Amino acid sequence: MAKRILAEIAKLTNVDQSKIPFGTLDITLHRDDLDNFKMPIIKDTVLPFDISSKNIILVDDVLYTGRTIRAALDVLMDFDRPKSIQLAVLVDRGSRELPIEAKYVGIKYNAKKFIKVECKETDGIDKVAGS
């Protein structure tokens, strides 16, 4: 999803996509519920640029308790201190446990049980389902 947003920003601004700093974070080892996973899957954190003095936009599919974003903030701070950090989410479920709010929100949806986001790039379809 973040790569799709990056492509749209590049198109709208007439900037070569490869010129816009982009990275990915693996928050697995920073989660506060790591004990709930039998075998956590560790992925790569890739930040091919110096984040200090940069304005960072974190992108996530669903914002609910805020714990995923808290873990992402911890990962970022392990690398350095950016100039600013903003958050973009596809779905804001409300019911925060931490004082974290998204600056950019696709839709606010107060689901009681779950939200499942599917993206064309990974699931073959763009879909948001909740209950």
Give the lowest-confidence range in 26-30, 49-53, 58-62, 87-91: 26-30
C-alpha span between 109 and 131 (Å, rounded)? 10
C-alpha span between 95 and 111 (Å, rounded)? 10
Better pLDDT: 113 or 46: 46
pLDDT of residue 30: 84
Q: Kindly indicate the confidence band of residue 21, based on its pLDDT and cuts at 50, 70 and 90.
A: very high
pLDDT of residue 37: 66
- Write out pLDDT tens, residues 34-81: 666 677 788 899 999 999 999 999 999 999 999 999 999 999 999 999
pLDDT of residue 115: 83
Domains contained in the chain, CATH given: 2-130 (3.40.50.2020)
What's the start-to-end Cα distance of the chain, in Å?
Answer: 22
Distance from the Cα of residue 7 to its chain's centroid: 16
What six digits make up the tokens of 109?
């949806």
pLDDT of residue 104: 96
Q: Where are the alpha helices (DSSP H) in the chain?
A: 2-13, 67-79, 120-123
pTM: 0.86
